[in-house]
Structures are given as structure tokens and as C-alpha cells.
Structure 1
Amino acid sequence: MSVQTDKLEELGRELGDAIAETPEYQAFEEAKAAVEADDEVQAQISEFRELRDQYMQARQMGQASEESLQKVQEAQEELHAMPKMAEYVDAQEELQDRLEAVNEAISAPLDVDFGGEAGGCCHD
């Protein structure tokens, strides 16, 4: 590897370390750990995923109903209404906002959106 590539990779590691130290990342990790440790939240997540998977299978077979979609939406609303899950979703959104700002700062001088289209060859 060239010296320039090594330097860029080192800067990337430093950026990753700096992101890990942000309040947004710390809040996300804490909220994630709280969700993972809560059996009630985990049970609600499992129920939501099961309903969602059943709906997606029915949809692929052309048998999805409005009622089954409504059940999925209600399960998601119930899940997101749980305090620990609501905190997790909020923390995730705040972290995504912060990462988007970082992406824009990296992309601006290069006129390339690294979080979106970098790496693709042909976009319409």
C-alpha cells in the first residue's frame, strides 16, 4: 500500500474512534443495550417480526390483506410505544442525523456522496 492509502486508512480509523465518542453514539449504544436486555421488549420485537414476515410472505404470493397490514402496523406502533424502544428509535435517528452530517462533510469537497452513491458505476 502507498503511504497515502495508509494515511487515509488511519484517518478513517480516527474518524471511527471520534464517532464512537460522540454523545449520539453513546446514547445509541446505551439504548440498544437496554432494549437487548429487556425480555418484554424482545418478546414484542419477536411478535412484530413474525407478523411482518407473515405479511411479506402473503404479499409475495398475492394474498396480503389490508387487515394483515394493519396488524403489522399496530404491532409496530405498540413496539415503538414501549419506553425503552422509543428511546432506542430516537437515539438511532439522532445518530443517523450525526452520521449524515459527517457524510456531507466528507463528500462536499469531493462532490461525491459516500453514504449514497459512491462506488456505483452507472446511475440515472
Structure 2
Amino acid sequence: MSIDTDAGQFETDVEALGRQLGEAIEDLPEYRALQDAKAAVEESENAQERIEEFEQLRQEFQLARQTGDASQEDLRELQQAQQELHNIPVMSEYLEAQNRLDARLEAINEAISEPLDIDFGEEAGGCCND
């Protein structure tokens, strides 16, 4: 690829490479496995019920924490619900697939970051670290 000295053309080339990278990531086996696992979770009535139960408990716990009424027992109950959710086979497979994709994306981030001498993923996230 030759990069035109015109700054506008350079930005277009870099953006095109970014799109190509996104498309290549979509083709990764880890990405496809995560999409398949996500679909399985969405299709599982048991998983969906447990997710709703967990989210309800989490919201109740957060509200109790904000008002100073959260107890250790509330926290244990929330953690137990999360563990039960994670123990559902489709959910466990989803979490494993997510971990594998995260590891692959971290390797890609390191490859991009190395010549830049910055953490590309952190910088691309657009969030401030104060």
C-alpha cells in the first residue's frame, strides 16, 4: 500500500485499514464462537430466566448499597446467583468464548500498540484515566 502525502488520503487509508481489521476480526474463529455462544444463551429459556433473576438481584443490591442498607448476606446472595448463572452450560460456554476472544483481541492490541509505543486499545477506547 502506498500512502499519499496528502493528509486526507492518509486518514482514508488508515480508516480503510481499520475497517479491514474489523472485518478480519469478524472472521476469527474466536469471534464466531462467541457469536454462536451468545445465540445459544439468547435461545435458552433457563439462561434468560436466570439472567433476569440475577439482574433483579443486582439492581436491588445496588439500590440497597446506595441507601446504606446492603448487608454481607445480600452480597453473598448476589454472588451465589451469579455463580448459579455462570454454571448453566450455555452461559459457561459463552463466558469461555468471551475469554478466548478477549485474549485474542489483547494479542491484536499488543501487535498494534508495539510500534506506537502506546496502548492502542486503551487510547482507542476514548476514556480518560484520571
After superposing on structure 2, the runs of 4+ consecutive aligned residues of structure 1 that deviate more than 6 Å are none
After TM superposition, the structure 1 = structure 2 runs for residues 9-88 of structure 1, keeping only pairs within 5 Å, are 9-88=15-94
Output the CA distance in 2 between the equivalents of 1:82 and 1:88: 10
Output the CA distance in 1 between the equivalents of 2:117 and 2:60: 42
Query: How well do the aligned residues superpose, as a CA RMSD in angstroms?
Result: 1.6
Output the CA distance in 2 between the equivalents of 1:59 and 1:120: 26
Output the CA distance in 2 between the equivalents of 1:120 and 1:114: 12
**Deviation for aligned residue 1:47:** 0.2
Which amino acid in the other structure matches residue 69 of structure 2?
Answer: Q
Match of 2:3 in 1: none
Question: Structure 1 unaligned runs (5+)?
Answer: none
TM-score, normalised via structure 1 length? 0.93
Which amino acid in the other structure matches residue 12 of structure 1?
Answer: G
Paired residues, what number? Answer: 123
**Deviation for aligned residue 1:58:** 0.5
Question: Structure 2 unaligned runs (5+)?
Answer: 1-6
**Deviation for aligned residue 1:71:** 0.6
Picking from 105, 110, 124, the partner of 2:116 is 110
TM-score, normalised via structure 2 length? 0.89
Deviations 1:43-100 (A, max 9, x none): 0000001001100110111110011101100000000000000000000011011111
CA separation of 1:27 and 1:108: change in aligned 2, threshold 3 A: same
Match of 2:4 in 1: none
